[in-house]
Amino acid sequence: MPNSFLSMDISSYGYVVPNGAAQGYTDILRLAYQAVATTRRLALYESQALLFSETSFPSSPEMLDQIHPSRLGYRQMLDQIMEIIGLRQQPQCSGQ
């Protein structure tokens, strides 16, 4: 599942035009992913519901720009996927 688009162009790249359409584009993309997953009987990682929100916010620490996750966003997705599939990061040994 893709992340939600931001409703403000924080980097001036012009990815979402007009900015007010971000929620509509987010909804369309979410519905498309759900339709493909349903018709193909695929598991779907619900990143919008679990991390990014299904609502298009003006800004978010999980987002680098209007459409791409930041390092934090990708890290949180990785942590969630690892938990879903049963892999958790082990603490680093200090070598003692």
Q: What are the pLDDT digits (tens) for 21-66?
A: 999 999 999 999 999 999 999 999 988 888 899 999 999 999 999 9
For the beta carbon of residue 93, count every other beta carbon within 10 angstroms. Answer: 6
Which residue's entry shows tokens 């890290």? 75
35 within domain boundaries: yes
Closest Cα partner for 27 from 58, 49, 51, 60? Answer: 49
The predicted model scores a pTM of 0.80
Residue pLDDT, tens place only, 60-88? 999 999 999 999 999 999 999 999 898 87
Structurally, how many domains does the chain consist of?
1
**pLDDT at 91 (0 to 100):** 55
58 within domain boundaries: yes
57 neighbors 49 (Cβ within 8 angstroms): no
14 within domain boundaries: no
For the beta carbon of residue 75, count every other beta carbon within 10 angstroms. Answer: 12
Give me the domain span that covers residue 54.
19-84
Question: Can you tell me the distance from the alpha carbon of 31 to that of 15, in angstroms, rounded to the nearest whole number?
Answer: 20
